[in-house]
């Protein structure tokens, strides 16, 4: 079969190329099957014996995905089970993409690996709560696959959370439906397979990003888009020092007008102590703008802080962040229990 269109995804590394060792079958791809590796880095895939067409690995410092290509786009790869006598899987016009991360909801916030505890969003990706930059880059790949190869920017399938997505999960396609499917699906939807990855993958948001919308919103023109990242907990923070809030995804990347509030909960702050908070922007890894300070007072029990900005502009190429300080003359420690950002923005 003749392959049409570009076969290499722009920018993808071919340093782990398995096309010579496992030549595969030529196809005209019209389906993308998404997987999660259940690891933090690029797998070895048994020397290529179970490799997909591409793997996307997070670069948290740069807030982007790094792509590795193992086979041409229109060549069968090897990440699906294909039982004798049934339907074809790997060779049925399918491009397969693995995202380095986990779909297991037990790892939604932390993941214990090799005697160490890692945190979602900063050390690894949890597919049920991907940062905006990951959704953006996955959407860019979907857009390329649509423009260059005609893969529909559609799915119509439910992505269930793992482990509910494992085995006979109620969303796995029949052989006939699979044979006629076009668009984007997950490993959990493929017949003759029992894996449940990529779990509660945000397929709708990714396809929306591919169509030119915000990765975290499906609002129409003229309406604000929104992002609601969670604030990650932290224990034993010292008083009288500014502490940056760590979010599960970037609250906002410029340039955009925005308004919003970040709510967070502190434990161990003395009653009456001053708690100050403010937004800031970084550009190229350096502080480029600092917002006005909001001050709240510590209370008996837990202290609840609301940091609001009724209207501002995040500069082009800048990233929005937030920070706070507890002023305590005794120099005690406190815990950041939880928090949530609610950012509305217009681009």
Does position 292 have pLDDT exceeding 80, yes or no? yes
User: Which helix or strand (DSSP H or E) is residue 99 part of?
Assistant: strand 94-99
132, 108, 137: which is closest to 249 by C-alpha? 132
pLDDT at 2: 62
Judge whether 31-210 and 225-346 match in fold: no
Any idea what DSSP says for residue 254?
S
For the residues 154-170, what does the mean pLDDT come to? 96
pLDDT score recorded for residue 235: 96
User: pLDDT (tens digit, 9 = 90+) per residue, 295-327?
Assistant: 999 998 999 999 998 788 899 889 999 999 999
- How far apart, in whole angstroms, are the C-alpha atoms of residue 285 and residue 270? 34
Work out whether the CA dihedral 312, 317, 322, 323 comes out positive or negative.
Answer: negative
CA atoms within 13 A on the CB side of 73: 24
Phi-psi region of 12 (alpha: psi -120 to 50; beta: other; left: phi over 0): beta
Query: With 0-12 CB in 10 A as exposed, 13-18 as middle and 19+ as buried, what is 224?
Result: middle
Q: How confident is the model at residue 1 (pLDDT cuts 50, 70, 90)?
A: low
DSSP state of 41: S
User: pLDDT band at 218, cuts 50/70/90?
Assistant: very low
Domain locations in the chain as residue ranges: 31-210, 225-346
For residue 242, whether the previous peptide bond is cis, meaning omega lies within 30 degrees of 0, is no
Which pair of tokens denotes residue 256?
């955009």
What pLDDT was estimated at residue 345?
86
- Tell me how far apart the alpha carbons of residues 102 and 41 are, in angstroms, rounded to a whole number: 11
Both tokens of 324, joined, read 């706070």
Query: What is the torsional sign of CA 293, 296, 302, 308?
Result: negative
CATH of domain 31-210: 3.40.80.10
| Nearest residue to 269 (alpha-carbon basis) of 232, 233, 296 | 296
What pLDDT, on the 0 to 100 scale, is given for residue 225? 78
State how far the Cα of 101 lies from the Cα of 39, in Å rounded to an integer: 5
Mean pLDDT of the chain: 92
Q: How confident is the model at residue 222 (pLDDT cuts 50, 70, 90)?
A: low
pLDDT, tens digit, for every residue of 55-70?
999 999 888 999 999 9
CATH among 3.30.450.20, 3.40.50.300, 2.60.120.1340, 2.60.120.10 for 225-346: 2.60.120.1340
């Amino acid at each position: 079969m003749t392959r049409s269109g570009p076969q290499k995804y722009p920018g993808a590394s071919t340093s782990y190329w398995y096309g010579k060792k496992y030549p595969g079958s030529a196809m005209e791809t019209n389906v993308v099957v998404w997987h999660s590796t259940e690891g933090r880095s690029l797998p070895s895939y048994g020397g290529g014996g179970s490799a997909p067409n591409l793997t996307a690995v997070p670069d948290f410092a740069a807030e982007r995905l790094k792509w590795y290509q193992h086979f041409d786009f229109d060549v069968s790869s090897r990440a699906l089970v294909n039982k004798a006598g049934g339907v074809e899987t790997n060779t049925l016009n399918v491009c397969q993409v693995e995202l380095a991360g986990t779909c297991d909801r037990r790892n939604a916030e932390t993941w214990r690996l090799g005697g160490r505890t890692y945190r979602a969003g900063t050390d690894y990706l949890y597919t049920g709560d991907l940062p905006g930059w990951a959704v953006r880059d996955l959407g860019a790949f979907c857009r390329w696959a649509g423009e260059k190869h005609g893969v529909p920017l559609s799915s119509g399938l439910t992505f269930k959370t793992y482990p509910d997505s494992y085995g006979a999960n109620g969303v796995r396609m029949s052989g006939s439906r699979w044979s006629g499917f076009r668009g984007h699906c997950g490993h959990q939807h493929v017949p003759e397979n029992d894996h449940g990855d990529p779990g509660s993958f945000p397929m709708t948001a990714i396809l929306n990003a591919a169509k030119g919308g915000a990765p975290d919103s499906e609002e129409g023109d003229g309406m604000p888009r929104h992002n609601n990242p969670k604030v990650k907990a932290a224990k034993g923070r010292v008083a009288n020092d500014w502490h940056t809030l760590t979010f599960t995804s970037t609250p906002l990347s410029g340039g955009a007008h925005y308004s919003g509030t970040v709510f967070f909960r502190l434990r161990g702050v003395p009653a009456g102590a001053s708690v100050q908070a403010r937004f800031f922007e970084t550009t190229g890894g350096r502080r480029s703008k600092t917002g006005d300070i909001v001050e709240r007072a510590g209370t008996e029990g837990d202290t609840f802080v609301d940091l609001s900005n009724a209207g501002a502009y995040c500069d082009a190429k800048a990233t929005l962040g937030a920070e706070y300080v507890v002023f305590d003359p005794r120099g005690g420690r406190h815990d950041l229990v939880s928090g949530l950002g609610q950012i509305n923005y217009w681009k």
